Chains A and B, each alone.
Chain A
Amino acid sequence: GQQVMQIPQYQHVQEGEDFTTYCNSSTTLSNIQWYKQRPGGHPVFLIQLVKSGEVKKQKRLTFQFGEAKKNSSLHITATQTTDVGTYFCAGSRSRGGATNKLIFGTGTLLAVQP
């Protein structure tokens, strides 16, 4: 079945350093979404990318969707302690108009040392 992997599993950075997590799907996706989950919390939707090669920015966060629509990345510039949490990518495949559930990636846990 469809698999979505993320690397790294865990990243520890000093506050102010940059951070990147990579997401790879075994199948072509119709869209990719990113979620953030704080420790003990629930996933919160960040953004959706739909077009091949699309790049979107949210303040210090930059999201990319690969040309083949099978991979994506999230880059955080100058991390802050508030960025701590697990970042999940999630993808879905369109099937001739039928609805589809999201398959979540394995997640990257980000720790930020002040």
Chain B
Amino acid sequence: NAGVMQNPRHLVRRRGQEARLRCSPMKGHSHVYWYRQLPEEGLKFMVYLQKENIIDESGMPKERFSAEFPKEGPSILRIQQVVRGDSAAYFCASSQTGVAYGYTFGSGTRLTVV
């Protein structure tokens, strides 16, 4: 009964490279949420997806960031041409329904841009 799985746990990228963060929701969960946490700060909503659909991307920067949740496979958060300010912990959460109740978070991906 695996929980929300995120990989990699740690990711180091040089400025200008691409970062791909993966999230496999809990079994039976079809709703995925991505949050970003800067050092010493709270969690900022980025995007909410269901299978093959982006429901709410109001928290996602307009440029360089994209997210998908394909019919098969994990949800992917993609950051192109990373900059130092992208260094943060990126957490994924999943839920069984779209009603916000008791998110189960993954262990996160710590992205460091050097």
Given A101-B48, A101-B100, does the pair A44, B42 have CB atoms closer than 8 Å?
A: no
Number of residues from B at the complex interface, CB < 8 A: 25
> Within 8 Å of chain B (Cβ to Cβ): is A22?
no
Which residues of chain A have C-beta atoms less than 8 A from B52's C-beta? none
Q: Could you tell me the distance between the alpha carbons of A99 and B98 in the complex, rounded to whole angstroms?
A: 5
> Within 8 Å of chain A (Cβ to Cβ): is B43?
yes
Which residues of chain A have C-beta atoms less than 8 A from B54's C-beta? none
Do the beta carbons of B103 and A102 come within 8 Å of each other? yes
**Residue on B nearest A43 in the bound complex, by CB:** B105
Do the beta carbons of B102 and A48 come within 8 Å of each other? yes
Do the beta carbons of B101 and A105 come within 8 Å of each other? no
Do the beta carbons of A104 and B102 come within 8 Å of each other? no
Minimum CB–CB distance from A80 to chain B (whole Å) comes to: 23
Minimum CB–CB distance from A89 to chain B (whole Å) comes to: 10
Which residues of chain A have C-beta atoms less than 8 A from B107's C-beta? 41-42
Which one of A41, A42, A45, A106 has the highest number of Cβ atoms from chain B below 10 Å of its Cβ? A42
Do the beta carbons of A31 and B100 come within 8 Å of each other? yes
Given A43-B43, A107-B42, does the pair A99, B105 have CB atoms closer than 8 Å?
A: no
A interface bracket (residues with beta carbon within 8 Å of B):
20 to 34
> Within 8 Å of chain A (Cβ to Cβ): is B69?
no
Do the beta carbons of A44 and B102 come within 8 Å of each other? no
Minimum CB–CB distance from B72 to chain A (whole Å) comes to: 23
In the A-B complex, list the 6 residue pairs whose CB atoms are closest, starting with the nearest.
A99-B98, A92-B100, A104-B43, A45-B102, A42-B105, A107-B42
- Name B's A-contacting residues (CB within 8 A): 31, 33, 35, 41-45, 48, 55-56, 59, 91, 97-108
Other A-B pairs, 11, CB within 8 Å; known A100-B99, A101-B59: A33-B101, A42-B105, A42-B106, A43-B105, A99-B97, A101-B48, A104-B44, A104-B45, A106-B42, A107-B41, A107-B42
- Name A's B-contacting residues (CB within 8 A): 31, 33, 35, 41-45, 48, 88, 90, 92, 99-107
